[in-house]
Structure 1
Amino acid sequence: MTMKDMLDGLPELNSPYALTSEQIEAYRRDGHTMLRGVAADHEVQAYRTVISGLVRESNDQTKPLHERDTYGKAFIQIINLWRKSEAVKRFVLAERFGRIAAELMGVDAVRVYHDQALFKEPGGGHTPWHQDQIYWPMDTDKTITLWMPLVPITEAVGSMTFASESHRKGLIDRIEISDESHKTLAQYIEGKGFKLVNYGGMAAGDATFHGGWTLHAAPGNPTDTMREVMTIIYYADGTKVAEPKSSAQRNDLNAYFPGQKPGEEAGTDLNPIVYRRQ
């Protein structure tokens, strides 16, 4: 089969997903939401084969689980798969997903920051409490992450756990994902009395969306099957590059906005617009 034949056989993922006003309101109030059937089962399965195969090829983790640190135990992480495969590119740059991101945030257009596969191995550890946006050199609160399982996940594995309304606090702490972040932010969450929400089991093609400042964590994987998840991070078109406040942000600036400087409009060939409201 040629590459063209394979691409011709993949679903386009451009048809719109009808959001309700209640879903939009809930996202803006809580900083997260879960949407059923963002991709149909046959659509997910068509892309899962390519994505999971690419993750296996790209994974250079050789240490057994018990020898890794907390971050290493949390998941196999492969970033920007869309740059490695024309098939994955069609998934990551899908207009349907970008439109949902734009409508939830209430913006006219969105760009991709980057994608990342997050595969939690059998027996894999928990993902500590954190805020995604501490890593991102962007001067905006209009950022959002799609988190979509490519296989059904049971309640035992579950979705991520979100601290509702925590996004309203903006930056809480620059601490990176670690045992320290888990302990410090858990104490902060308890002190503020945020409501914790875990959406439980999810079907392949369901998706959660959460804001860049929304506190979240994820349980470990007590099952004997891989938790295969694909994520895509979006930001509002027109966002400016921020002055990096940490080495992590400097690294991200070089990796995802190469050649750009603080104050410039964020966007390179790595950050295509995937949806613009007509």
Structure 2
Amino acid sequence: MNSTLYDISNVQKEQYTRNGHILVRQLAAPEEIAAYEPVITEKVMELNYNDKPLSERDTYGKAFIQVGNLWQHSEIIARFVLAERFAKVAAELMGVDSVRIYHDQALFKEPGGGHTPWHQDQIYWPLDTDKTITMWMPLVDVPEEVGSMTFASGSQEAGYINKMVISDESHRTLAQYIEGKGFEQVSHGAMAAGDATFHAGWTLHSAPGNPTEHIRKVMTVIYMADGVRIAEPDSNARKNDLASWFPDLQPGDVAASRLNPVVWSR
């Protein structure tokens, strides 16, 4: 990964603070994506455990092939996931001096794959902070009919809305909540490979299905401010995340296991 850093403007920081999401164009260059995409794709397909046909999966399973912590399985992918360029953007948008990764996730939406219901990412994360952010970067060009995610602008200000995991129920309930609160629903539309959106851990978002014949290949990296502490998990989802991403740590500890290196510091 090229060591050149990306400078976020004050206008972009203000947009992120206000809306809870932002689009950054060309954060990774075409030649970088061309180098990393085949390696990431090969590893995703190797580690994918979901071998049921789409018709036999639940709503969550239809939404995407999901594989996490790829950086632990490949030195090449680690260079992508731990890139300072990405982490610096995350830190500057959150307004913090240092960030760690929480984990990475590949989210590959197959041809005919279903929509991703409305949800908040941070209901899964046992973290005692609002200083979390996800980078969502397509590894292939994403056309208008597939699109980026849809965000409920300003919804991050509501904080922890409920504990519902990604499901048909979360989609119905949170759609009603969004309508009731009058949050503007914003999609950034078509994206080129190497563009990226960043959104806060509490920002409500969803994604459409994939009506095309091509896989929507996306890589995500979740960041948290350095120094945040692990919260007492209040759900099975958070208990599972505590065990997976913070090995040997307990509630109250600083969220800094061997899986959570500092990736950028001012």
Shift of 1:15: 1.4
Q: How does 1:94-113 map to 2 (within 5 A)?
A: 94-113=83-102
- Paired position in structure 2 for 1:175: 164
Shift of 1:64: 0.7
Per the alignment, in what secondary structure is the counterpart of residue 239 of structure 1?
A: coil
CA distance in 2, matches of 1:142, 1:15: 25
Assess if the C-alpha contact under 8 Å between 1:137 and 1:249 holds in 2: yes
CA distance in 2, matches of 1:238, 1:32: 23
User: Residue type matched to 1:238 in 2?
Assistant: G
CA distance in 1, matches of 2:249, 2:25: 37
CA distance in 2, matches of 1:273, 1:60: 29
CA distance in 1, matches of 2:237, 2:218: 23
Per the alignment, in what secondary structure is the counterpart of residue 137 of structure 2?
A: strand
**Unaligned stretches of 5+ residues in structure 1:** 1-11
Shift of 1:25: 0.5
CA distance in 2, matches of 1:225, 1:167: 32
Assess if the C-alpha contact under 8 Å between 1:31 and 1:214 holds in 2: yes
Assess if the C-alpha contact under 8 Å between 1:148 and 1:205 holds in 2: yes
User: Residue type matched to 2:206 in 1?
Assistant: A
**Structure 1, 109-118 or 12-21: larger mean CA deviation:** 12-21
Say what the alpha-carbon RMSD is for the aligned residues. Answer: 0.6
Q: Deviations over 1:213-235 (max 9, x none)?
A: 00000000000000000000000
Q: How does 1:1-278 map to 2 (within 5 A)?
A: 12-277=1-266
Shift of 1:115: 0.2
**Unaligned stretches of 5+ residues in structure 2:** none
CA distance in 2, matches of 1:128, 1:85: 31
Q: Deviations over 1:214-263 (max 9, x none)?
A: 00000000000000000000000000110001111011101101111111
Per the alignment, in what secondary structure is the counterpart of residue 126 of structure 2?
A: coil
CA distance in 1, matches of 2:137, 2:104: 11
Shift of 1:20: 1.1
Shift of 1:199: 0.5
Assess if the C-alpha contact under 8 Å between 1:37 and 1:205 holds in 2: yes
Q: Deviations over 1:108-147 (max 9, x none)?
A: 0000000000000000000000000000000000000000
Aligned-residue sequence identity (percent) comes to 64
Assess if the C-alpha contact under 8 Å between 1:13 and 1:91 holds in 2: no
Assess if the C-alpha contact under 8 Å between 1:13 and 1:95 holds in 2: no
CA distance in 2, matches of 1:195, 1:52: 34
- Paired position in structure 2 for 1:3: none
